[in-house]
Amino acid sequence: MPQAYQSELATAIAAVIAASKICRAVQATITADSLEKKDKSPVTIADYASQAVICKIILDAFRNDPIVGEEDAGDLREPANQLFRDRTLHEITSSGTPATTDEMLAWIDSGNHDGTANRYWTLDPIDGTKGFLRKEQFAVSLALLINKRIEVAALACPNLPMGSGSGAVFYAVRGQGAFVIPLDQPDAKPVAVKVSKISDPAQARMCESVESGHSAHDQSAIALEKLGIAGEPVRMDSQAKYGAVARGDAEIYLRLPTRKGYEEKIWDHAGGVLVLEEAGGKVTDIDGHPLDFAAGSTLKNNRGVVVTNGLLHDAVMAVVKTLKFE
Ligand SMILES: Nc1ncnc2c1ncn2[C@@H]1O[C@H](COP(=O)(O)OS(=O)(=O)O)[C@@H](OP(=O)(O)O)[C@H]1O
Ligand SMILES: [Mg+2]
Ligand SMILES: [Mg+2]
Ligand SMILES: [Mg+2]
């Protein structure tokens, strides 16, 4: 029997690779150039160009598929942002995708679905925009959900070390394992991705967000101490953290709530979660519940995220349960 979702997987991989190339080109040139969104977070021409190109590639292949993307073209349509809009279009056309301004805006806005369909994609065109602006880690994350379950994931991490260079594209289909290919050699033989076999908490390596506003660094420091881990946590932006645990660079990724009521967005997790689980890892929230992707565009039924290589999950949860959150 042919394996399920092969054409969705091929489309997702092609889409995140095309977008990553644009992001890399922009990252090489930018000097802290971004707009501020209503929630005060930054967005760059690369976030918009990435969302446009990925939505176009998905819709060319699967015309009726809804997409739940992070960005929308509202701010780009503002007359005051004409220069920003023109530069976004320039990045798209110079990457080899001919487009008019109206087409570009429509592609971006095709990512405006709300996560209520039986089948939809969720997209973070640049996850870790702050890391992108710092010229550090970021990810392009795309996942397909069917009946509220993640079935296909493609997660490009353009700055993650890979062999002698950098740029890793992780991907997974539920039940088929997780794999990684180099961003610059997509035809190379895929390598199976597996979590580390470390089961002694004291030997574990932990990663967390760079931004203390996204994850409570004071509480993770207490967790490290209680687990007997001597090393410092590795701070890294984006879902590259899921990739790091999936491939055994680290054993633990903690995302501990910093403020009451923040709802994690599905596009900040879906791609990374399937790669991690298919690599043998485990993810729950801080109360030990599975992440609930059936609640629309946010994980409103969960608080925080605890990611491990599986072997360490119980030990980490025992410590997380002793921490104090707002
Ligand atoms: N308060 C709060 N708590 C938790 N998470 C938040 C919060 N605010 C924002 N975000 C989301 O964090 C996404 C980036 O997460 P990272 O783990 O990459 O954080 S960091 O960049 O290292 O700070 C970032 O994703 P991008 O916007 O795609 O960069 C946000 O969606
Ligand atoms: Mg953002
Ligand atoms: Mg994000
Ligand atoms: Mg983003």
The pLDDT score that the predictor gives to residue 229 is 97
Residue 10 and residue 117 share a domain: yes
Torsion angle, CA of 87/79/70/236, rounded to 10 degrees? 50
Question: What is the pTM for the complete model shown?
Answer: 0.97
In a domain, 325, yes or no: no
Identify the CATH number of the domain in which residue 268 sits.
Answer: 3.40.190.80
The pLDDT score that the predictor gives to residue 70 is 98
In a domain, 157, yes or no: yes
Q: How many CA atoms lie within 13 A of 145 on its CB side?
A: 29
In a domain, 326, yes or no: no
Residue 276 and residue 168 share a domain: no
pLDDT tens per residue, range 90-141: 999 999 999 999 999 999 999 999 999 999 999 999 999 999 999 999 999 9
Residue 178 and residue 122 share a domain: yes
Determine the distance separating the centroid of ligand 3 and the alpha carbon of 178, expressed in angstroms: 21
Contact between 39 and 192 under an 8 Å Cβ cutoff? The reply is no
pLDDT tens per residue, range 161-175: 999 999 999 999 999
Ligand nearest to the CA of 43: 2
Burial of 191 (0-12, 13-18, 19+ CB in 10 A): middle
Query: Which protein residue has the closest C-alpha to ligand 1 atom 7?
Result: 214
Residue 235 and residue 269 share a domain: yes
Ligand nearest to the CA of 131: 1
Question: pLDDT band at 32, cuts 50/70/90?
Answer: low
> Is a pLDDT exceeding 90 seen at residue 35?
no
- Ligand 1-lining residues (CB < 6 angstroms): 41, 70, 124, 126-131, 209-211, 213-214, 237-238, 258-259, 262, 265, 268
- Mean pLDDT for the chain overall: 96
SS3 per residue for the chain:
CCCCCHHHHHHHHHHHHHHHHHHHHHHHHCCCCCEECCCCCEECHHHHHHHHHHHHHHHHHCCCCCEEECCCCHHHHCHHHHHHHHHHHHHHHHCCCCCCHHHHHHHHHCCECCCCCCEEEEEEEEECHHHHHCCCCCEEEEEEEECCEEEEEEEEEEEEEECCEEEEEEEEECCCCEEEEECCCCCCCCEECCCCCCCCHHHCCEEECCCCCCCCHHHHHHHHHHHCCCCCCEECCCCHHHHHHHCCCCCEEEECCCCCCCCCEHHHCHHHHHHHHHCCCEEECCCCCCCCCCCCCECCCCCCEEEECCCCHHHHHHHHCCCCCC
Q: Last residue of some domain: 139, 172, 192?
A: 192
Residue 153 and residue 10 share a domain: yes
Distance separating alpha carbons of residues 174 and 34, to the nearest angstrom:
36
In a domain, 1, yes or no: no
Best of 72, 138, 211 for a ligand 1 pocket test (most atoms within 8 Å of beta carbon)? 211
Residue 10 and residue 158 share a domain: yes
Residue 214 and residue 144 share a domain: no
Best of 39, 54, 214 for a ligand 1 pocket test (most atoms within 8 Å of beta carbon)? 214
Contact between 245 and 219 under an 8 Å Cβ cutoff? The reply is no
Mean pLDDT of 15-26: 97
In a domain, 42, yes or no: yes
The pLDDT score that the predictor gives to residue 175 is 98
The pLDDT score that the predictor gives to residue 308 is 99
Q: What is the CA radius of gyration of the chain?
A: 19
Residues with CB under 5 A from ligand 2 (ion): 41, 129
Q: Last residue of some domain: 166, 192, 218?
A: 192
Q: Could you give the number of structural domains in the chain?
A: 2
Residue 39 and residue 183 share a domain: yes
Ligand 1 atom nearest to CA at 240? 18
Residue 127 and residue 39 share a domain: yes
Binding region for Mg(2+): 70, 124, 126-127, 268
As a whole number of angstroms, the longest Cα–Cα distance in the chain is 57
In a domain, 71, yes or no: yes
Q: What number of other Cβ atoms are within 10 A of residue 124's Cβ? A: 32
Question: pLDDT band at 315, cuts 50/70/90?
Answer: very high
Binding region: 70, 124, 126-127, 268
Determine the distance separating the centroid of ligand 2 and the alpha carbon of 36, expressed in angstroms: 10
Domain that holds residue 295: 201-320
The pLDDT score that the predictor gives to residue 261 is 86
Query: What value of ipTM does the predicted structure carry?
Result: 0.94
Residue 271 and residue 241 share a domain: yes
In a domain, 293, yes or no: yes
Ligand 1 atom nearest to CA at 265? 31
Question: pLDDT band at 45, cuts 50/70/90?
Answer: very high
Q: What number of other Cβ atoms are within 10 A of residue 262's Cβ? A: 14
Mean pLDDT of 9-38: 90
The pLDDT score that the predictor gives to residue 31 is 65
Residues with a catalytic annotation lie at: 47, 129
pLDDT tens per residue, range 249-289: 999 999 999 988 899 999 999 999 999 999 999 999 999 99
Residue 134 and residue 65 share a domain: yes
Q: Last residue of some domain: 174, 192, 210?
A: 192
Ligand nearest to the CA of 157: 1
Residue 139 and residue 20 share a domain: yes
